[in-house]
Structure 1
Amino acid sequence: MANQSELHLSPGDLSGNKQSTTTIPETIIPCTQSESPQAANAWKVLFLLFLANLLNFFDRTIPAIVVEPIRLEWGLSDLQLGLIAGAFTLVYAVAGIPLGRLADRISRKKIMAWGLVVWSGFTALNAVAWNYVSFFMVRMGVGVGEASYAPAANSLISDLFPPEKRSRATGIFMLGLPLGLVLAFFTVGAMITAFDSWRAPFLIAAVPGIILAIAMFFIKEPERGQSEQRKLADDVVANPIRKLLKIPTFFWIILSGVTINFAAYAGNGFLVPLLQRYFEISLTQAALCTGVIVGITGLIGLTAGGWLADKGHQFSPRGRLSVGAVSLVIAALATAGALYFSNHSLVAFVVLFGFGWLAHYNYYTSVYPTIHDIVEPRLRSTAIAVYFAGMYLLGGAFGPIVVGALSDQLAQYHMTLAGQSEMTEVFKAQGLYDAMYLIPVALLLTGLFIWQASRHIIADKEIRTPGQSA
C-alpha cells in the first residue's frame, strides 16, 4: 500500500544478479512464536515509570501552589504568573521532539535517567531565584529535563505490554499525574508553613529525583516491537514527522491534545489562587481543595478509565475513543455547572468541578493507547513527542497565559463597572473566576476532536497492519 514504508536494496545486494532490485514492502519482521508478548519485568518497570511520573507532576505543580506568595513578593500580574507556566511548557514542547527522536534510536532508560537528573537539579535551583526573571529562566531548564521523559516512557510501555493491556498499563502509569498533584497540593502548603518560606519545597523535591535517576539506569529494556511479537529492520524512516501527520487519526488526536492541555494547565495553574481569592480561604486550605479536585478524582478516573477504555476496545476498534469523547462532554458540562451554579458555595464548586475533572481523566487512557495502535513501534517515541509538541506548545503554554491575560482584563472590566478607579482583590477574584469559563469550552472541543479521530481509526489501523489486528 502507498502508505507503507519500504526498504529498497541496491542491485546485487541479495544475489549476483546486477539487474534485479528487491523491495521489502514491510520493515516490521515477524518474530518467532516462542517470544512472550508481555515482558517478564513489565510490572516492575511500570512501577518505576509510575514513580518517576509522579515526581514529574509533583515538581511541575509546586509553582502553581506558591503563586500567591510569589505574586505578592514580586508584585506580579496574573499574566506574568501565566507566563511562568507558559515558559515551562514552551520549552517542554520544543525540546520534546529531538529528545523523542533520540529515544527512538538509543537507550530509552538513559534518556529518562539523565532527564531526571536535569529536571531535579533545576527544580532545586528554583529555591535560590532572586527575582521574577531568574525564576522564569530556571523553570525553562526544568522543562528541558522533563521533556525527555514522557516520549521514552510511553514507548517503553508499548513494548512491555501487548495491545489489549495498554489502556490499563497506561492508566497505572498516568496515576502518577493525580498522585503527584495530590502529594504536591497536600504537602507543599505544610512545607511552606514549617520552613516559613515558599522556597523550601523546591529543595525537598530534588532529592527523590536523583535517587530515581540512579534506579533508572538499571532497567532492562525490552526490544522495540516485542509486545507485538515483531522485530524491526535496521533501516531509517524517511521524513518521520511528515509520515505521522498524514495519519488522520493522529492529526485529530493532536488537536485534542491542544485543547485538553489548555484546560488542564489553566485549571491546575489557577485553581489555588481562585479558591484563595473568590472563596477567601488560606493557601493551605486552597491547596487541599485543589488536591481533591484535580488529584483524588484522578485516582478514580484513571483506574476506572483504563478498564472502560480496554472494554471499549474489545467491543469495537472505535471503543477507546468513544469512551474518551463521551467523558469529555460530561467533563465540560460539569465544570461549566461548577462555575455557573456554585454561587459562592465552596462545597458545591469542589464537588461539581471535581466530578468534571474525574471524567476528563478518561482522555489519557483513551488517547495514549490509540497512538500506539496506529503508529509502528520504531516511531512511537517520535509520535509522542510530536503529539506533546502540539499539546504543550499550543495548549499547555497558552492555557495559563490566555486565562491569566483574560483575568486581568475582566478584573479591569469589573472595576470600571463598579465605578471604581482602584484595583482591589475583590475585582481580581471576580476577573479570574469569569476567565475560568474557558476551561469547559476547551473540554467540549476536546470531546469533538476525539470523536472525529474515532471516525478514522479503523482505516488507519488497517494501513499500519494490513490483514492483521492492531
Structure 2
Amino acid sequence: MSETTARKPQEGQSGALRLTKSVAIVSLIVLAGSYVINAMDRQVFSVLVPHIREEFGFSLGQGGLLATIFTLGIGLAGVPTGYLLDRLSRKAVMLLGIVIYSAFTVLTAVSVGFFDMFAYRALSGVGEAMQNAALFSAVGAYFFANRALALGSLNFAYGLGSFFGPLLGANMTTATGEWRTPFWVYGAIGFGFALLILVAIKKTFTEQRDGGPGEATPRSYDHVPAALLNKNIVLLAVTAVVVGLAMYGYLGLYPTYLQEELGLSTGDAGLAVSMFGIGALAGLPAGWLGDRLNQRTVMIVALLAGSVVGYLLFNGPTTAGWQIFLSFAEGAIASGFLFVNIYSSMQRAVRPIMIGRASGLYVASFYVPAAIAGYLFSALVESTGWGGAGLWQLAVLPLAGVVALLFVDVSQFSNARRVEVH
C-alpha cells in the first residue's frame, strides 16, 4: 500500500469505508489482546485441577471432564453464532461473548460442587465461542488477501494467553494459597477489554464483507461451491474434529500427568503447560506459509509431525526439560499450524457471504468433540495407562485427519483466482 493510499480511507467492493493501515493494525492489536484473556481463562483450569480435586474430592475422570467441558459450550454455540453473525454486527456478538465468558469465569470461583462448576465452565464456553467466531470472521474478512497470516496473528495472541494463563495462575495460587484467585483476576480483565472494545473499535473494521484493503481487482467465486456443506468443508470439518480430540485430550490432563505420574511440582507443571502457548506463537509463520504454499500439504505434514510428538509426550523422556520442549512442539503443531490453517481453509472453502457460518461450523467441529476429549483420555488412561492413551488419542487418531485431507481440492478455495480485466 502506498503512503498516499494509507492516509485516507479506502472503499472496498461493498462500498464500505476502510480504515487507514495504521488504525487497522491498532484495531487488530486491541482485538488480539482480548483473545489473550480468552486463552488465559481457557488454559488456567487444567493446571488447577489437582487443587480443585483435593478440595472437592473429584475423581480423575471428573477433573478431566471439568478441564475440557468449556469446549462443549464453545462447540454447541458455534453454529448458532454463525447464523447470529448474519443478523447482528460482529462487534455486538464479540462484546456479548466477552461479557458472558468473563461473568462465568468469576462464577467458577464461587462454585460449591461438581454440577454448578460444570455449568459455569460450559457456559463460559458459550461466550468464548461468540467472541471467537465474530473475531475470526471480522479479521479474516478485513485482511482477505492474507487471511491465514491474519488469523495466525490471533493465534499468536492465543499463544500468549496460553503461556501466561497457566503460569500466572499457578503463581497466583501458590502466592495466595487459593485456587480461586486466577478466576477473579481473569474475569475482571475480561470486563475491562469489553469496555475498551466498545469505545475504541470501529465497525468499519469489524463489519467488512469483501476483500482486503486496497483490493482493486475483483475476484471471481464461480469456482467455489455455492453450498455451505460442500465436499471440502466437510473434509476439513472432519480434520478439525480429529485435532480437537487430540489437542484437548493432551491439554485436559497433561498437568495431572506431570504432577501425579512424573512427580513434577505445580510450578514445573505450569511452566510445561505454558510452553504449549509459546508454541502456539508459531501461528504467525504457520499462517504465512499457509498463504503461500499448498495449504493441504502444510496441514498433512503438521498432522504427521503431531503424531510423533503426541506419542513422545506420554511415552518418551520424563524429565522436566524434555517435557517442556515436547509441550512447546505440541503447541506449535496443533495450535500454531493446524488450528490456523484448518480455520482459514474452512473460510476459503465457502463464498465470502458465508464466512460467518463457516467460522461457526469450524468452532462446532473443533470444540464439540473436544468437550469429551479429557474424559476420553482419562478412560484410556484407566484401561491402557498414560502411554496407551497418548498412543491412541495423540498419535494414531491424527492419521484419520491425514486421510481426510488427501481428498481436499484446494483449487476450489476462494483465494484461487481473480477476474480478468480487459
For the superposition of Structure 1 and Structure 2, which TM-score range results when normalised by the shorter chain?
Answer: 0.7 to 0.9
CA distance in 2, matches of 1:136, 1:167: 34
Which of the residues 270, 277, 289 maps onto 1:295? Answer: 277
Confirm or deny: 8 A CA contact 2:209 2:353 kept in the other structure: yes
Q: Whose Rg is larger?
A: 1
Residue 459 of structure 1 aligns with an amino acid whose one-letter code is: Q
**Structure 2 residue aligned with 1:320:** 295
- CA apart distance, 1:162: 2.9
Is the deviation greater in 115-124 or in 81-90?
Answer: 81-90
Change (3 A) 1:33 1:200: closer
Which residue of structure 2 aligns with residue 151 of structure 1?
Answer: 133
CA contact (8 A) 1:112 1:216 kept: no
Q: Is the 8 A contact 2:264 2:320 kept in 1?
A: no
Q: In the TM superposition, what is the alpha-carbon distance from 1:257 to its structure 2 partner?
A: 0.6
| CA deviation vs aligned residue, 1:430-459 (integer Å, no higher than 9, x gap) | x33432221122333333333332xx1213
Question: Aligned match of 1:162 in 144, 157, 166?
Answer: 144
**Other structure's SS at 1:104 match:** coil
The one-letter code matched in structure 2 to 1:244 is L
Q: Residues 106 and 276 (structure 1 numbering): CA distance in 2 closer, same or farther, change over 3 Å?
A: same
2:290, 2:180 → 1: CA distance? Answer: 40
Contact 2:14 2:210 in 1 (8 A): no
The answer for the alignment partner of 1:200 in structure 2 is: 181
**Distance verdict in 2 for CA 1:349–1:445, change over 3 Å:** farther
Alpha-carbon distance between aligned partners in 2 of 1:86 and 1:190, rounded to the nearest angstrom:
22
What's 2:6 paired with?
none
Q: Return the TM-score normalized by structure 2.
A: 0.86
Deviations 1:188-217 (A, max 9, x none): 111111221111110011111111101222
The alpha-carbon distance between structure 1 residues 391 and 32, as it changes in their structure 2 partners (threshold 3 A), is closer
Distance 1:466 1:406, change over 3 A: same
Query: Residue 50 of structure 1 is aligned with which of 15, 19, 32?
Result: 32
Give CA deviations for 1:412-440 in whole Å, capped at 9, x if unaligned. Answer: xxxxxxxxxxxxxxxxxxx3343222112
Name the CA shift for 1:457/1:278 in 2 (closer, same or farther; >3 Å). same
Contact 1:51/1:176 (8 A) holds in 2? yes
Q: Distance in 2 between matches of 1:34 and 1:49?
A: 20
Distance 2:54 2:140 in 1: 45
Do the aligned partners of residues 53 and 34 (structure 1) sit closer, same or farther apart at CA in structure 2, a change above 3 Å counting?
Answer: closer
**Residue in structure 2 matching 1:260, options 243, 248, 273:** 243
The answer to whether the 8 A contact 2:159-2:278 is kept is yes
- Give the alignment partner of residue 170 of structure 2, picking from 189, 192, 196: 189
Q: Does 1:458 align with 2:411?
A: yes
Q: Matches of residues 115-264 of structure 1 in structure 2 within 5 Å?
A: 115-163=97-145, 165-218=146-199, 219-222=201-204, 223-227=208-212, 243-245=227-229, 247-264=230-247
**Paired residue type of 2:351:** E
Task: Summarize the alignment of residues 25-36 of structure 1 with structure 2, pairs less than 5 Å apart.
Answer: 31=13
User: Identity percentage over the alignment?
Assistant: 26
Q: How is 1:319-358 mapped onto 2 (pairs within 5 angstroms)?
A: 319-342=294-317, 344-358=318-332
| Partner SS, residue 128 of structure 2 | helix
Matched, 1:447 2:402: yes
Q: Say how many residue pairs are matched.
A: 396
In the alignment, which residue of structure 1 is the partner of 2:3? none
CA distance in 1, matches of 2:87, 2:104: 26
Separation in 1, partners of 2:47, 2:118: 16
How big is each residue's C-alpha offset from its partner over 1:32-91, in whole Å with a ceiling of 9 and x where there is no partner? Answer: 899779866321221122111111111111211111111122222222123224532222
SS at match of 2:192: helix
Letter in 2 for 1:203: W
Deviations along 1:161-208, one digit per CA (max 9) or x if unpaired, are: 132x22221111111221111011211111111221111110011111
Checking the alignment, whether the CA contact within 8 Å between 2:345 and 2:413 is kept in structure 1 is no
Contact 1:122–1:138 under 8 Å retained in 2: yes
Which shows bigger deviation, 385-394 or 352-361?
352-361
**Contact 1:329 / 1:447 at 8 angstroms: preserved in 2?**
yes
Distance 1:338 1:393 in 2: 24
The amino acid that maps onto 1:449 is: A
1:436 to 372, 390, 397: 390
Q: Which amino acid aligns with 1:388?
A: V
> Any conservation in 2 of the 1:248–1:460 contact (CA below 8 Å)?
no
What is the root-mean-square deviation in Å for CA atoms of aligned residues? 2.8
Shift of 1:376: 2.1
Provide closer, same or farther for how the CA distance between residues 70 and 434 of structure 1 changes in structure 2, counting only shifts above 3 A.
farther
Q: Deviations over 1:358-400 (max 9, x none)?
A: 2332113322222232322221111111121121112x11211
Task: Note closer, same or farther for the CA distance 1:280–1:220 as it changes in structure 2 (3 Å cut).
Answer: same
- Assess if the C-alpha contact under 8 Å between 1:79 and 1:408 holds in 2: no
TM-aligned CA deviation for residue 253 of structure 1: 0.8
Alignment partner, residue 259 of structure 2 = 276
Q: What is the distance in 1 between the residues matched to 2:344 and 2:362?
A: 13
Contact 1:33 1:229 in 2 (8 A): no
| 1:400 aligns to 2:383 (yes or no) | no
Distance in 2 between residues matched to 1:435 and 1:170, nearest whole Å: 31
The answer for the alignment partner of 1:234 in structure 2 is none
Q: Do 2:272 and 2:323's aligned partners in 1 also have CA atoms closer than 8 Å? A: no
Q: 1:133 to 1:289 in 2, by over 3 A?
A: same
1:209-244, Cα deviation, whole Å (9 max, x unpaired): 11110122232223312536699xxxxxxxxxx931
* Structure 1 SS opposite 2:263: coil
Tell me the distance in 2 between the aligned counterparts of 1:440 and 1:468: 46
What is the CA-CA distance between 1:128 and the residue it aligns to? 0.6
Contact 2:311 2:390 in 1 (8 A): no
Who is 1:421 aligned against?
Answer: none
- Counterpart residue identity of residue 390, structure 2: M
Q: Deviations over 1:277-330 (max 9, x none)?
A: 1221111221112212x122222x213212222221xxxxxx122112112211
Q: Which amino acid aligns with 1:444?
A: L
> How has the CA–CA distance of structure 1 residues 229 and 131 changed in structure 2, closer, same or farther, with 3 Å as cutoff?
farther
Alpha-carbon distance between aligned partners in 2 of 1:35 and 1:144, rounded to the nearest angstrom: 32
